[in-house]
Amino acid sequence: MLFILGTKSYNSNGGEIDNFNCPKCFANTKLNYIVSGRYTFLTFIPLFPVDKEILIFCDHCDEVIQYHQLEENTKNEIKRIKKESILPAPFWTYTGSIALAGALFFGIYSYVNSNNNSKIYLQNPMVGDVYNVKMSNGFYTTYRIDKMSKDSIFVTVNDYQAYLPYETDDIDTPENYTDTKTKYSKQDIANLFNKDEIYSITRKE
């Protein structure tokens, strides 16, 4: 996906200033202006309003006048107008921010939720449960439960390792569990979980 960050205008007020000497057509005429609020957007999704911009043009020749071309007193007038213009930002200019906040909230919620489920899965292990494990070398892998006895859990260790904790989802596929079998006492598993070396447990519903 291509991300485009930019700004667009949302709302505008216009007006005019009398007694303006145009640097382009040299007429003594009126200066027209339009003040707009601007919002940032990310790939067409508005994030939040940022600032105001002012567009000025000659009433006589209709040419756009740059700020630096203005006489000093007109510059001050324009500055004042820009500062004092109140352009209420429409609610939709916050769409992206609200969506991001929602996504963040959902992320935290599902993290907390999966953590809660992990505790339940720890206490009631089932064949097929997957332990997501932080290894001593700093990488991450998974153990899949093959069977349980009264005190022990028999697992197959994933043939692959991941760089990041959430990437273990990608290596958790049946063909990656081959011949590295091992056995843990239930107490060992509980200890690993409490030390966060087993940082979550996945159960395929």
Interface residues toward Zn ion, by CB under 5 A: 22, 24-25, 58, 60-61
**Is the Cβ of residue 25 or residue 135 nearer to Zn ion in the bound state?**
25
**Is the Cβ of residue 25 or residue 120 nearer to Zn ion in the bound state?**
25
Let me know: does 48 contact 39? Beta carbons within 8 Å. yes
CB of 59 to Zn ion, least distance (A): 7
**Is the Cβ of residue 59 or residue 167 nearer to Zn ion in the bound state?**
59
Alpha carbon distance 57, 159 (integer Å): 69
CB of 24 to Zn ion, least distance (A): 5
CB of 21 to Zn ion, least distance (A): 9
CB of 81 to Zn ion, least distance (A): 19
CB of 77 to Zn ion, least distance (A): 17
**Is the Cβ of residue 58 or residue 157 nearer to Zn ion in the bound state?**
58
Alpha carbon distance 115, 128 (integer Å): 18
DSSP letter assigned to residue 70: S
DSSP letter assigned to residue 71: -
- E strands, 95-203, are 130-134, 140-148, 152-158, 177-185, 198-202
Indicate the helix (H) or strand (E) that contains 197.
none
**Is the Cβ of residue 60 or residue 203 nearer to Zn ion in the bound state?**
60
Let me know: does 20 contact 74? Beta carbons within 8 Å. yes
